[in-house]
Amino acid sequence: MALPTSSTAPDGGGSASPTSLSSVSVTIAKAHLDGKHYTLDARSPGNVSVGGHAEFEIALVAQDGYHINEEFPYKLKTNAEPAAVVSFDAPELLRSQGTYTKTEARFRARFSGAQAGAAKVGGTLALSVCTKKECVIDRIQIDVPVTVR
Pick the CATH number of 31-148 from 3.20.20.370, 3.40.640.10, 2.60.40.10, 3.30.1370.100: 2.60.40.10
- Whole-prediction pTM: 0.80
Distance CA 63, CA 34 (A): 10
Tens-place pLDDT, residues 67-81 = 999 999 999 999 999
For residue 23, what pLDDT is reported?
37
Distance CA 37, CA 102 (A): 14
Tens-place pLDDT, residues 13-66 = 333 333 333 334 458 999 999 999 999 999 999 999 999 999 999 999 999 999
Q: Where are the domains of the chain?
A: 31-148
For residue 26, what pLDDT is reported?
53
Tens-place pLDDT, residues 99-139 = 999 999 999 999 999 999 999 999 999 999 999 999 999 99
For residue 118, what pLDDT is reported?
96
**Average of per-residue pLDDT across 79-93:** 95
1 versus 36: the higher-pLDDT residue is 36
**With b meaning 16 or more CB within 10 Å and e meaning fewer, what string describes 111-141?**
bbbbeeeebbbbbbbbbbbbeeeeebeeebe
